[in-house]
Amino acid sequence: MIQTYAGPESATDLLATLTTLPAGHPARPALRDNAIEAWLPLARHLAHRYSGRGEPTDDLVQTATVGLIKAVDKFDPDRGVDFAGYAIPTIIGEIKRHFRDRTWSVRVPRRLQELRLAITEANSTLTHSLGRSPTVADIAAHLSITEEDVLEGLEGARAYNATSLTGI
């Protein structure tokens, strides 16, 4: 006989009950599904905060849902953190990972993606402090890297957006 779960209805109660059941308990899969469904509004809300940034909202909701599933599966109430406090960073991390991994037109190593961000920040800071556009040497000195590294980071940044070849 298959047991069905007919316990508490609040999302927090569902998770509390889920974590108390042993791994092989027959009610666990249904309870897990109910907990995920109960917390879906949180995932949707977080996904909508990142909409309008060039990615379809449906993809962001799906990515946020993956983050929610990971949060439900890895949540440990014994750590003293409520589920929302654990789930929000997990879901946002999944969304940010989606942007990092999927929005570049050409796959660029993470090191160059991070270098691009550092160069952009340094460019802004130096433009303000120098009163002019910084040179490659200025940026390299500010970041304590070589000029070749700055040029490599600038070249890698060009892969963020693809250019059409039809006009060539």
End-to-end CA gap in the chain: 68
Assess whether 19 and 96 both reside in one domain: yes
pLDDT exceeds 80 at position 117: yes
Q: Which of 54, 78, 102 is the last residue of a domain?
A: 102
pLDDT tier for residue 104 given thresholds of 50, 70 and 90: low
Do the domain assignments include residue 51?
yes
Residue 97 and residue 131 in one domain? no
Structure tokens at 120: 């952009």
Tell me the percentage of the chain whose pLDDT exceeds 70: 84
Handedness of CA 126, 129, 135, 139 (dihedral sign): negative
How many domains does the chain divide into? 2
Q: Is 66 in a helix, a strand, or coil?
A: helix
**How much is the average pLDDT of 143-156?**
89
Mean pLDDT in residue range 41-59: 90
Mean pLDDT of 14-37: 87
Note whether residue 4 is domain-resident: no
Tokens of residue 50, six digits: 């990142």
Q: Which residue segment(s) compose the domain that 138 sits in?
A: 110-160
